[in-house]
Amino acid sequence: MVALKIILTGHGYNISKKGGLLVIARADGSKKEVSIGNVSMVLANLKGLSISGEALRLMLKHGVPLILLSKDKPVGKIQPMMLKTHVRLRKEQVKAQEDARRFKIASTIILNKMLNQMKVLKRISKTRPISEQEVIDEKVQQIYSVYKDVSESGIDARSWLLSKEAEASRHYWEALAKIVPKEIGFTGRKKKYENPEDPLNVSLNYLYTLLMYQVWYAVELSGLDPFIGYLHEDSNRRPSLVMDLMEEFRQPIVDYPLIRFLLKRKIVEALDDSRRLKDSFRKELLQLFFNTLEKNVTFMNRAAPIKAQIRLQPIRLARYLLNHADRYICFDVVM
């Protein structure tokens, strides 16, 4: 069991350094020491925060992002001085939006997402009663026919790709709705702005946000512009490349571990009266998420923790954009 990698709840933290350890103390006298090597990100509320220069130096040196929150919303961040960049990469990133690479990347992401969805369903299916297995298999077949549609058509309209993605995802979430316990009340996927009231949707939205920060940071470290993407529409408020690169991680890093967790654990009190995650349940989700990030997997002939694979993917995309690799391959390991 690894330590929590993130501080989200409450305020009044004092962050200092002792050797290679981050020392996190609170006004009530509680204290935690974490080796910097085990920390992938720190989120801290500004209220009552105090932080030492040596702790900042340790985080900067190990590439650990510090996100500063005000009332749980990110308002600032500490990051290494960007004293160099990769100018040709930035330009190729823009140019690729207007040539054949855009469609290649977009369709690769969509097709891989469908493959991952089928993998998750098949994996879960094995542990279910025969009657459920048949329903799941049917959904897998439906996703597969969408997959074939996309891979064989060669239609390079992004709106069409996105409609196909929505179709596959509908089958995927319908299958999962049949699997998760009825008490959870999950009837279909609902995003944050749709105000879901069941713990699965609320948990998914929470974990996808954590995943977004991980991918965002990886994109920034790679030198790519988070806001110039290929599948998702350009937006000044949504970093489309981060959205693009999140797709391949949603199923293996969030969906599959979360569903397994919910199947094992009876949810007694996940949400409070206003349909928000209770602190105790949120801590369990954090533990689940950051344990997953530490898992070693082999991908592209490289064995590394998932958090490192997340860091590597934007770099691999950059190689493709710079013509140092002949294609971009999405993450597809469902453990």
What is the size of the binding site for its own copies (CB under 8 A)?
A: 48
288 binds its own copies (CB under 8 A): no
Judged by beta carbon, residue 200 or residue 231, the one nearer its own copies is 231
| Minimal distance, residue 314 CB to its own copies, in Å | 16
Task: Tell which one of 25, 36, 68, 212 touches its own copies (CB under 8 A).
Answer: 68
222: number of CA atoms within 13 Å, CB side? 30
Judged by beta carbon, residue 59 or residue 120, the one nearer its own copies is 59
4 binds its own copies (CB under 8 A): no
Residue 324 neighbours by CB under 8 Å, 6+ apart: none
DSSP assignment letter at 2? P
Stretch that binds its own copies, among 68-76, 179-187, 256-264, 274-282 (CB under 8 A): 68-76
How far from 226 is each of 93, 205, 222, CA to CA, in Å?
10, 20, 10
**Residues within window 224-243 making contact with its own copies, judged by CB under 8 A:** 225-228, 234-237, 239-240
Query: How far apart are alpha carbons 230 and 88 in whole angstroms?
Result: 18
31 three-class SS: strand
- Give, to the nearest 10 degrees, the angle between helix 130-153 and helix 100-125: 170
**Residues within window 90-119 making contact with its own copies, judged by CB under 8 A:** 90-91, 94-95, 97
185: number of CA atoms within 13 Å, CB side? 11
25 binds its own copies (CB under 8 A): no
304 binds its own copies (CB under 8 A): no
Q: Tokens 């990030």 — which residue? A: 293
Q: What is the dihedral of CA 45, 48, 50, 55, to 10 degrees?
A: -30
214 binds its own copies (CB under 8 A): no
Tokens describing residue 126 = 């094995």
20 binds its own copies (CB under 8 A): no
63 binds its own copies (CB under 8 A): no
| Minimal distance, residue 94 CB to its own copies, in Å | 5
Residue 207 neighbours by CB under 8 Å, 6+ apart: 254, 258, 285, 289
For 300, list phi and psi in degrees, rounded to 5. Answer: 55, 45
Judged by beta carbon, residue 52 or residue 153, the one nearer its own copies is 52
| Minimal distance, residue 278 CB to its own copies, in Å | 25
Task: Tell which one of 36, 49, 312, 315 touches its own copies (CB under 8 A).
Answer: 49
48 binds its own copies (CB under 8 A): yes
Binding site for its own copies (CB under 8 A): 11, 44-54, 56-57, 60, 67-68, 70, 74-88, 90-91, 94-95, 97, 225-228, 234-237, 239-240
